[in-house]
Amino acid sequence: MGMRRLRIGIVRYASVANKIAAALAVDRAPEVLIGARTKIVFRSMGAARWSEEQQIDYALQVAGVARRAIAADSRRSVYKRAENSAIVVIFEDATLKRGCSIVSRWECVVPASGSA
């Protein structure tokens, strides 16, 4: 039996993801990973192909919504990160062309409040 690699300090929070999805009125909740940085991953919404201006505007909106959702969470381990953690907004989209799976990924790091 081989040893499993532990991922320490990264936890998925479906409840926070659902609050973010509701606030943004998106059908599919993003994946929310809270660790040293808070990562919010949107998949299959076509955003990786938007114009850069649209991506940045939406990423900043997502970061604001996420900070509010995280700050409102009742768990201390979650709400303590609302102001002190950078938020990484990631858009991932996949297409199939001539038998090849092509994955597009766009990422924006929104610094913690007061560190920009």
Calculate the average pLDDT of the chain: 84
Residue with tokens 């659902």: 18
Cα separation values, 104 from 26, 63, 87, 91, Å: 20, 21, 20, 8
| The one-letter amino acid at 77 | S
**Spatial distance between the Cα atoms of 22 and 73, rounded to a whole number of angstroms:** 15
pLDDT tens digits along 30-39: 999 887 788 9
- For the entire predicted model, the pTM comes to 0.81
The yes-or-no verdict on residue 5 having pLDDT over 80 is no
H or E element that contains 17: helix 14-24
The yes-or-no verdict on residue 3 having pLDDT over 60 is no
pLDDT tens digits along 17-26: 999 999 999 9
- pLDDT for 59 equals 96
Asked if 41 and 68 touch (Cβ cutoff 8 Å), the reply is no
